[in-house]
Amino acid sequence: MTVMTNPVSVTQDLLRFNTINPPGQEAACARYLGDALSKVGFCCRYKELGHNRLSLVASIGGLADRLPLGFTGHIDTVPLGGAPWTKDAFGESLEGGKLFGRGSSDMKSGVGAFVAAAISVADELRNSAGVTMVITADEECGCGGAKQLVEDATLLGKVGALIVGEPTNNYPLVGHKGALWLEAVAKGVTAHGSMPERGVNAVYLVAKAVMALENFHFPDCKHRLMGSPTLNVGNIFGGMNINSVPDYARIGIDIRTVAGMNHDDVKALIQEAVGLDITLNTLVDVGPVFTDPKNDWVQEVFGVMEKQLGEAPQAKTVSYFTDAAILHQAYVNTPTVVLGPGEAQMAHQTDEYCLVDRLEQGFDGYRDLIRAWIK
């Protein structure tokens, strides 16, 4: 087994597990981590998501008057894409200060770094507030692993603060936007294409909805760090053949919300915009995550990472969402930062890589944050 305190080697091992989602197949990767953590005293529990799919919750330490520090990360990855890779996609390309592989930045480097950091200080954790790591399956297809864990909150326990190891170039971020994904469906009446007056064209109905959404504006709800909410119509489907009036059509709507917005209210606004001929179905509903930058722990994180980055972090957020949006249903009002060694711009890219220096820097930062928490 790899020396589990070397974040580069641990990440390389994680890359060797093909966890492309779908189908995911994260079980072997989760058990590899669980076996290593168990050997240094972590209590490891698994949650089965489906055949050959597991999430892992690993914890060590614990005090009556202080909750553990939480880490979370996912071990599934997106597919390789259509473009050919010039590097090995499964962890065998380490060159020029870069570790290549699918998931190297998003986000096996984050998991590798915080697992290695926790193992490196395991002896210090046993009689302390401790650490809990939530390592999930199926994040890339809608946070399925996190949702399942929240349904069994006894498995998650409680944490006093949460670090999300998604790729941020080791820059601590204080939140991210939420996501409300809607399917808008129109049902019409089919007829022969030469007699369209006998039918009701569902494509026309969704086309009107698309135009309404193109000109849609949210009420004034701009957030001082997250900016404004956004809306995008990402796909459109309708009809069976060219010479029939289509009786079914649908569009997919991707809304990114900011802190302070209520998703039920947002959905009502969209319904008003597209009209009653359109039925809205919710596909994804995860709220924004935001912690006040003035929070004492956030300021401590900024101080620790300033030593690593060589600059004082400023309060920033990102537009993508993470498992934290789901986990906050169990970890209510838990201070949270998104902080990981991956290269944010490399997520989902061909020849994805993480920088070795950044990975080692992330390991040092995580270790220092753990020690600061348990002192």
| Helices 202-214 + 263-274 axis angle, to 10 | 120
Q: Where are the domains of the chain?
A: 7-176+288-374, 178-286
Contacts of 213 by beta carbon, 8 Å cutoff, 6+ apart: 231, 233, 253, 270, 273, 274
pLDDT tens track for 173-192 = 999 999 999 999 999 999 99
Q: Do domains 7-176+288-374 and 178-286 have the same CATH topology?
A: no
209 is written with which tokens? 């909805």
- Tell me what pLDDT residue 200 has: 98
Does the domain formed by 178-286 have CATH 3.30.70.100? no
**Tens digit of each residue's pLDDT (9 = 90 or more) over 98-114:** 999 999 999 999 999 99
Query: pLDDT class for 341, splitting at 50, 70, 90?
Result: very high
Instruction: Kindly indicate the confidence band of residue 193, based on its pLDDT and cuts at 50, 70 and 90.
Output: very high
pLDDT digits (tens, 9 = 90+) for 16-70: 999 999 999 999 999 999 999 999 999 999 999 999 999 999 999 999 999 999 9
User: CA-based angle 86:87:91, to the nearest 5?
Assistant: 160
The reported pTM is 0.94
The predicted structure's pLDDT at residue 369: 98
Q: What is the pLDDT of residues 277-333, one digit of tens each?
A: 999 999 999 999 999 999 999 999 999 999 999 999 999 999 999 999 999 999 999
- Return the amino acid letter for 185: V
pLDDT of residue 113: 98
What is the C-alpha end-to-end distance of the chain, expressed in Å?
31
CATH architecture of 7-176+288-374: 3-Layer(aba) Sandwich (3.40)
pLDDT of 195 over the 50 cut? yes
Q: Give yes or no for residue 155 having a pLDDT over 70.
A: yes
> What pLDDT score does 2 carry?
64
Q: Per this entry, what is the length of the chain?
A: 375
Residue 1 confidence (pLDDT) above 50 = no
Alpha carbons 104 and 243: distance in angstroms, whole number: 48
Share of residues in the chain with pLDDT > 90 (%): 97
- As a whole number of angstroms, the distance between CA 49 and CA 56 comes to 11
DSSP H helices, the chain, are: 7-16, 27-39, 109-120, 122-125, 144-151, 153-156, 202-214, 263-274, 296-309, 324-327, 356-374
List 176's β-bridge partners, or say none: 289, 318
